[in-house]
Amino acid sequence: MGAGHMLEAAGVDAEEERVYRFLLGVREADTGGIAAQLGWEAARVESVLAALHGKGLVGRAAEPPAGGPERYVPMAPDAALRPLLLRGHEALEWARRGVEQLAEEYRAGGRRHDAEQLVEVITGASVIRQRLRQMAYGAGEMRWLCKARPVALAAAENDEEWELLARGVRYRTIYERELLEGPGMVDNVARSIRAGEQARAAGTLPVRLVIADSSMAICPLVYESGDVLDGAGASASDGHGDGHGDATERAPGPADRVGEPTAAVIHSSSLLDALIALFESQWAAATPLHVTDSGELADFEDGQNPAVHLADDERYLLSLIVAGVADKAIASQLWVSQRTVQRRIQALMQRAGALTRTQLVWQVAQRGWLTNG
């Protein structure tokens, strides 16, 4: 777009912009004066002025000279152009959505005729890493299952997570406990949580998995031969190398040439739905992690039944919930309002990472909140 035609994106063509700029300089002019200055025919100027008037960029002078021609004045450009720009933005957004819909229809049609498009196999750490980056930058939510080992990818920085969290992308991550024991991992995960990541811990995870929204997932198929043979050396030095917790880099050896890491990219399908269900079941069973006031990561140190500090009245409330006592009866026993009971239950559910009371009861039993302590 040339420097002399800046308003094209707002729906103002080159002729209209030239007349508008002329009026900005002289502040007021009639059709004949504009035509003489620009070297145009009067009919051409009248047509352009009518278009500018329709777009709110020029107005008629309040008091034209007696018997004289009608004169035009420029209007404030920000007030006039903002609605035009908004309409242009809406049109672009509508077009973008249309392109996305057509692209999805194209992919869906291809998947119906070519099963290979449902699952794409990619090989090589750099290729997998690049696909993870592309997937993350196009997502609104990222879900991770982070196994300690074997690790599929070479160590690398994952600076995009901090950027994407700042943009509002939601991260939900489940860490295998062995991974959290790696050097620097506690500080790294605490940093992620402070940045907005929702994190949980599990004793073991069935697979390493990354899901972007509900449209795509990446799951390692074949790990690098060196990692498989030597037990992966899962030091997880930077904690977020392939997303979360990678092996320390080392010089390539003979084993590295035997095979590279291979992963499956799973697109929208029943298989992807099953992987999402797997993640959600692991999420419901995992222990929420949080950062304490002192900046430390808490709620994973004690294995399957992490330490939790419950007040006596909280334990009593939980015992009533587990026993199936109704809110009204609980309120009567605690001498508080029913709304207060519901608020306290919500706080306990949030603490346990439960979405329903049934999940809360299950988490209480799993963690031994009523038996430990």
Alpha-carbon distance of 280 to 274, in angstroms, equals 10
Cβ partners under 8 Å of residue 85, min gap 6: 9, 10
d(CA 67, CA 90): 45
Residue 361 CA to residue 64 CA, distance in Å, equals: 81
Q: Which residue has the higher pLDDT, 101 or 88?
A: 101
Rg (CA), the chain: 32
The pTM (predicted TM-score) of the whole model is 0.49
Express as a percent the part of the chain with pLDDT over 70.
72
**If you average pLDDT over residues 214-227, what whole number do you get?**
74
213 pLDDT more than 80: yes
Which is higher by pLDDT, 205 or 244? 205
Which 8-state DSSP code applies to residue 237? S
Q: pLDDT by residue (tens digit) across 108-160? A: 665 555 556 688 888 888 888 888 888 888 889 999 988 876 554 433 345 67
Cβ atoms within 10 A of the Cβ of 98, count? Answer: 10
Question: What pLDDT was estimated at residue 194?
Answer: 86
Is the predicted pLDDT of residue 241 greater than 60, yes or no?
no
Per-residue pLDDT tens digits for 17-58: 888 888 888 888 888 888 888 899 989 988 988 988 888 888
Kindly report, residue by residue over 275-318, the tens digit of the pLDDT: 999 999 888 877 788 777 666 676 644 444 444 566 777 888 88
| pLDDT higher than 50, residue 348 | yes
Label residue 250 left, alpha or beta by phi (over 0 means left) and psi (-120 to 50 means alpha): beta
pLDDT value of position 356: 85
pLDDT (0 to 100) of residue 217: 94
Looking at residue 372, what is its pLDDT? 56
Residue 246 reports pLDDT greater than 80? no
Per-residue pLDDT averaged across 179-188, rounded? 80
- Helices 31-38 and 14-26 cross at an angle (nearest 10°) of 110
Collect all residues with Cβ–Cβ distance below 8 Å to 196 and sequence separation of at least 6: 165, 166, 170, 171
